[in-house]
Amino acid sequence: MTLFSGASIAQFIPILVSPVLSRIYAPENFGQLGVIMSVVGIFSIVATFQYESAIMLPKKDEDAFNLLVLAVSITFFISVLSYILVNTFDVQIARILKSRSFINWVFIIPILVFLSGLFNSLNIWASRKKQFKRLAFRQIAQTTVGAGTKLTLGWLKYVNSGLIWGTLAGQLTSTGVLTVKTFNDTRNLFSRVSLRRIKYNALLYQDFPKYTMWQGFFDLVNASGTVFILSSFYGLKVVGLYTFTLGLLMKPTRMVGKAVSQVFYQNASRKVANNESIFGDTIRLVKNLALVGSLIFFPVLIAGPYLFSFVYGDKWWNAGVIAMILSPYLFVKFLTSPLSNIAIIFNKQKVFMIIAMIMNILFPLVLIISANINISYVNAFIIATAIIVTYYFFIIKWIVNLTKNNEV
């Protein structure tokens, strides 16, 4: 409830200002931000080698903290690598994505990559320590600063850069809050950091870079791949409509899903470690998420275009069409997201990696095939949604069966 309350306030702020932002910035501006964040996402998924996901698991805090140091160290080197690669191939990337202004933003990519990896690592550490008030505060700080910066720069007519600078400002704030507070709390643990213990834990949890990282990579194939395909074949305007829609619909689901996921992961990990069943917890979670998801997505499914054009302006009618089409897909994704931690708890990373790989390839694959045979982006979204929803239901069934088969 602490995380949910903080997330509710945090997500209410960008939802509140989104009708103003939609009238200040054009779909192309949102498209440019979407392209940059998709490139950042590719590096972010390997920024920690997914060792931050293992921070929750050790019994001793000193082992968990050594994993934290390992994750942050890897993040630093990946962020440097990201700058070298993007700076070397900036012209080619801009040409492929049909985004001339991409070259102007090469410098910001390694900064966002480093902040992303650092933030994800500190976020899991705070969850391990049950510092939920801290996590709630950083959510509010991030969205307040981010939204405020975007509004201010938009008002000052910096429409070509306001969204990007606002995103950076919000990420700097949230990561800064967690960094300062974590450093103050963990000074006594720095003396217990050693290369030997880092190596020991790196080998002990090597399944995370082996399997979980690749699962995350294919998540990015879905997210970033979709943006790249839309940018290359349909243009920045369609990217802007898509990312604007996805951002709005994902805000309330993240608000609930991430808060529930963090607490469920912590609680389920403890129960399984103590040989307790989590089957009943899982069923209750699915039912509650389905109820909340229906309240969010059913109105969009019925009247998406009318809602978007009324709230955000006539130029966002097609965004409402996209929202209506994608709502079943986002509904089942909302159900599945907190459940994915169950695969980690039961050491099924390898199996889940294969499942996630297939799932994440399907959506961009349908889009790229559709684009190459001149199917409109609207019809491509319809086909992709139908396929992916069917597959998601099989994933949910498999995850629930894991907990049933491990009943005590």
Sign of CA dihedral 305, 306, 312, 313: positive
Burial of 247 (0-12, 13-18, 19+ CB in 10 A): middle
Confidence class for position 139, pLDDT limits 50, 70, 90: confident
Decide if 309 is inside a domain: yes
Which of 187, 205, 223 is the last residue before a domain boundary? 205
Same domain, 159 and 242: no
Same domain, 193 and 305: no
Taking residues 183-189, what's their average pLDDT? 87
Which of 162, 188, 205 is the last residue before a domain boundary? 205
Decide if 56 is inside a domain: yes
Q: Say which range, 183-197, 234-248, 278-292, has the weakest mean pLDDT.
A: 278-292
Same domain, 334 and 399: yes
Same domain, 148 and 243: no
How confident is the model over 151-160, as pLDDT tens digits? 999 999 999 9
Decide if 320 is inside a domain: yes
- Which of 163, 214, 215, 169 has the alpha carbon at shortest distance from 36? 163
pLDDT, greater one: 105 or 4: 105
Number of domains in the chain: 2
Neighbours of 120 (CB within 10 A): 21
How confident is the model over 227-239, as pLDDT tens digits? 999 999 999 999 9
> For position 10, what pLDDT does the model report?
72
Same domain, 371 and 249: yes
Confidence class for position 78, pLDDT limits 50, 70, 90: very high
As a whole number of angstroms, the distance between CA 358 and CA 352 comes to 10
Same domain, 30 and 127: yes
Flag whether pLDDT at 407 surpasses 60: no
Flag whether pLDDT at 266 surpasses 80: no
- Which of 360, 30, 345, 342 has the alpha carbon at shortest distance from 163? 30
Decide if 14 is inside a domain: yes
Decide if 215 is inside a domain: no
> For position 253, what pLDDT does the model report?
72
Same domain, 187 and 317: no
SS (H, E, C) the chain: CHHHHHHHHHHHHHHHHHHHHHHHCCHHHHHHHHHHHHHHHHHHCCCCCCHHHHHHCCCCHHHHHHHHHHHHHHHHHHHHHHHHHHHHCHHHHHHHHCCHHHHHHCCHHHHHHHHHHHHHHHHHHHHHCCCHHHHHHHHHHHHHHHHHHHHHHHHCCCCCCHHHHHHHHHHHHHHHHHHHHHHHHCHHHHHHCCHHHHHHHHHHCCHHHHHHHHHHHHHHHHHHHHHHHHHHHCCHHHHHHHHHHHHHHHHHHHHHHHHHHHHHHHHHHHHHHCCCCCHHHHHHHHHHHHHHHHHHHHHHHHHHHHHHHHHHCHHHHHHHHHHHHHHHHHHHHHHHHHHCHHHHHCCCHHHHHHHHHHHHHHHHHHHHHHHHCCCCHHHHHHHHHHHHHHHHHHHHHHHHHHHHHCCC
Decide if 228 is inside a domain: no
Decide if 95 is inside a domain: yes
Domain of 169 in residue numbering reads as 1-205
Per the prediction, the chain carries an average pLDDT of 87
Same domain, 327 and 385: yes
Decide if 220 is inside a domain: no
Flag whether pLDDT at 287 surpasses 90: no
Flag whether pLDDT at 71 surpasses 80: yes
Taking residues 54-74, what's their average pLDDT? 92
Same domain, 201 and 278: no
Which of 162, 190, 205 is the last residue before a domain boundary? 205
